[in-house]
C-alpha cells in the first residue's frame, strides 16, 4: 500500500511539474509572430479617404472603438467619440474575462510605429508582445490586401486625438494561456479586381468579418461548416437577446429568395439623408448590427457582397432573432 501511495505521489508531482513547465513555456515562447516591419505610411488624402471608408463602413473598426448609443436602433456611434474606445465585453456576453476596446485615436496609439500597428491589426499582437483576445477579428484582417490596412492606419492617424484610457484585459485561466498560442503571421492577399464581383464580394465579406456574427458560436469559436447560417446570440444589458440571422441561400430560413434590389435596400435605407435612428426603450427590439455604418457602403460593394452570398451553400437553420427579457 505504501509503495502504491509513493508511486501515486510521484505521478501527481510529475503531472504538476509538467503542467507548470508547460505554462511557463507557453508564457515565454508565445505568441510566435514575426517582428514588426519597418513601415512609414504616408498620410495622403487618398489613403485617409479610403481608410475612412473601410474603417467606418466595411471593417467597421469604429463599431467597437467608439461609444455606441443603444438608446437608438442599431447603436449608432455617438458624435465626438470616434476612436476613443471604451466598449466593455465581459462574462455577461459569454466571454472568458473582461475586455475593453482601446483608444485608437493618436492619443491611444502614439507609442506605436506603423509597423507595430500593421502587426497588431493583422496578427493581434501588441507592441508589448501581448496576444489580444480575437474580439477584434484580426484573423480576417490578416487576409486582406496590405494596402487596405495601410489606408486604415493612415485614417486612424488622422483622427482628432481624444484623451481616454481603459484597463487591460482580465482573462480567465486557462484561456489566458491558450490565447497566447492563437496569433500567427498573416496570409495577406491582393485585392481582387472589382469587375470580378464574386471574388471581390468574398474579399469584402472577409474584411467585414460577416461570418464571425452570422455563424453559430460554441466553445469560444464559430462552428466550422455552419458559416453564415446564423445563430450566434448577443445578450443586451436589459436581458433581451438578439441572434444573428441566417444569410445563406436557404429559401425557408435564409435569404435565398432575396433579390439584389431587396438586399441593397436593406442597407441603403440607413444611409438615406432623411433617416433618423429611432429611440429604443429597454426590452424593445434592437440590433447589434451596425446598420448605420454598413449603410454607408458603396452600392457597387454591396452588389459584390450579394453576388458572393449567392454562391454560399444553403443551410437550413431557423433563427429566433429576438427574445425580450423574461421570455
> Which pairing describes strands 233-235 and 170-171: parallel, antiparallel, or unpaired?
unpaired
pLDDT of residue 273: 85
Do 222 and 211 meet the contact criterion of CB atoms below 8 Å apart? yes
Element (H, E) at 148: helix 146-158
Interval 204-230: pLDDT, tens:
999 999 999 999 988 778 899 999 999
Q: How far apart are the first and last CA of the chain?
A: 57
Residue 23 — very low, low, confident or very high, per pLDDT cuts 50/70/90? very low
How far is 121 from 207, CA to CA, in rounded Å? Answer: 12
How far is 64 from 52, CA to CA, in rounded Å? Answer: 15
What percentage of the chain carries pLDDT values higher than 70?
A: 91
Interval 156-203: pLDDT, tens:
999 999 999 999 889 998 888 988 999 999 999 999 999 999 999 999
In terms of Cα–Cα distance, which of 155, 119, 145, 147 is closest to 37? 119
Interval 49-101: pLDDT, tens:
999 999 999 999 999 999 999 999 999 999 999 999 988 888 887 788 999 99
Counted residue by residue, the chain has a size of 327
For the ranges 29-33, 35-39, 131-135, the maximum mean pLDDT occurs at: 35-39
How far is 63 from 87, CA to CA, in rounded Å? Answer: 9
pLDDT of residue 29: 53
Q: What is the DSSP letter of 61?
A: G
In terms of Cα–Cα distance, which of 306, 292, 205, 228 is closest to 264? 306
Instruction: Decide if pLDDT at 241 tops 80.
Output: yes
pLDDT of residue 87: 86
Residue 18 — very low, low, confident or very high, per pLDDT cuts 50/70/90? very low
Average of pLDDT values for 312-320?
A: 96
How far is 11 from 3, CA to CA, in rounded Å? Answer: 12
Instruction: Kindly report the pTM of this predicted structure.
Output: 0.90
**Per-domain residue ranges of the chain:** 34-190, 192-327
Amino acid at each position: 500500500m505504501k509503495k502504491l501511495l509513493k508511486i501515486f505521489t510521484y505521478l501527481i508531482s510529475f503531472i504538476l511539474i509538467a503542467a507548470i513547465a508547460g505554462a511557463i513555456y507557453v508564457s515565454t515562447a508565445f505568441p510566435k509572430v514575426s517582428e514588426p516591419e519597418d513601415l512609414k505610411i504616408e498620410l495622403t488624402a487618398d489613403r485617409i479617404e479610403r481608410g475612412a471608408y473601410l474603417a467606418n463602413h466595411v471593417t467597421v473598426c469604429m463599431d467597437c472603438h467608439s461609444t455606441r448609443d443603444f438608446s437608438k436602433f442599431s447603436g449608432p456611434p455617438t458624435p465626438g467619440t470616434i476612436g476613443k474606445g471604451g466598449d466593455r465585453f465581459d462574462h455577461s456576453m459569454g466571454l472568458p474575462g473582461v475586455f475593453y476596446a482601446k483608444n485608437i485615436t493618436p492619443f491611444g496609439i502614439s507609442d506605436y510605429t506603423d509597423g507595430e500597428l500593421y502587426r497588431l491589426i493583422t496578427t493581434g499582437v501588441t507592441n508589448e508582445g501581448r496576444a489580444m483576445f480575437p474580439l477584434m477579428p484580426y484573423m480576417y484582417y490578416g487576409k486582406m490586401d496590405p494596402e487596405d490596412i495601410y489606408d486604415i492606419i493612415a485614417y486612424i492617424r488622422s483622427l482628432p486625438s481624444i484623451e481616454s484610457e481603459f484597463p487591460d484585459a482580465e482573462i480567465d485561466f486557462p484561456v489566458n494561456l491558450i490565447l497566447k498560442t492563437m496569433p500567427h503571421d498573416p496570409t495577406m492577399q491582393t485585392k481582387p479586381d472589382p469587375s470580378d464581383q464574386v471574388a471581390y464580394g468574398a474579399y469584402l465579406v472577409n474584411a467585414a468579418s460577416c461570418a464571425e456574427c452570422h455563424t453559430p458560436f460554441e466553445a469560444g469559436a464559430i462552428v466550422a461548416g455552419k458559416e453564415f447560417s446564423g445563430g450566434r446570440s448577443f445578450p443586451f444589458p436589459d436581458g433581451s437577446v438578439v441572434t444573428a440571422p441566417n444569410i445563406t441561400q436557404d429559401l425557408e430560413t435564409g435569404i435565398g429568395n432575396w433579390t439584389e434590389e431587396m438586399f441593397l435596400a436593406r442597407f441603403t435605407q440607413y444611409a438615406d439623408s432623411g433617416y433618423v435612428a429611432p429611440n429604443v426603450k429597454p426590452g424593445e427590439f434592437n440590433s447589434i448590427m451596425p446598420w448605420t455604418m454598413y449603410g454607408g457602403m458603396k452600392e457597387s460593394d454591396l452588389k459584390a457582397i450579394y453576388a458572393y452570398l449567392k454562391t454560399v451553400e444553403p443551410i437550413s437553420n431557423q433563427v429566433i432573432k429576438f427574445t425580450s427579457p423574461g421570455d
